[in-house]
Amino acid sequence: MEAERNLSIERVYETYVVSFYNDEIYTTVTSDCDTIARWINEIEHPNLFIVGFDLCVGSRCLIYQLEYVDYDYPDVLLNFLANEEYTFVG
């Protein structure tokens, strides 16, 4: 598993590449609103299928670390979760 870290004051996240059979799943772990907004804006939205609160879309996953969040959820995340065109399972 490869890992990329960016632990600056502005953004805090870690990205892992998880191999699953012949697929690679790019997984981002964060408690940072800007990182969540960037992740949501970068993913492809057609045929969106999400499992659990850990958001997985195609070969990308976002793990939002709620235990480190001491403020309201980012609007971009709430809007994403409220979108009736997406199916959430979990």
Low-confidence ranges of the chain (pLDDT < 50): 50-52
Query: Which residues are bridge partners to 19 per DSSP?
Result: 24
pTM exceeds 0.85: no
The per-residue pLDDT for 51 is: 40
The per-residue pLDDT for 17 is: 92
Token code pair at residue 64 = 């939002």
Specify the residue for token string 């960037």: 38
Cβ pair 64, 56 in contact under 8 A: no
* Strand stretches in 8-59, DSSP E: 12-20, 23-30, 49-51, 55-57
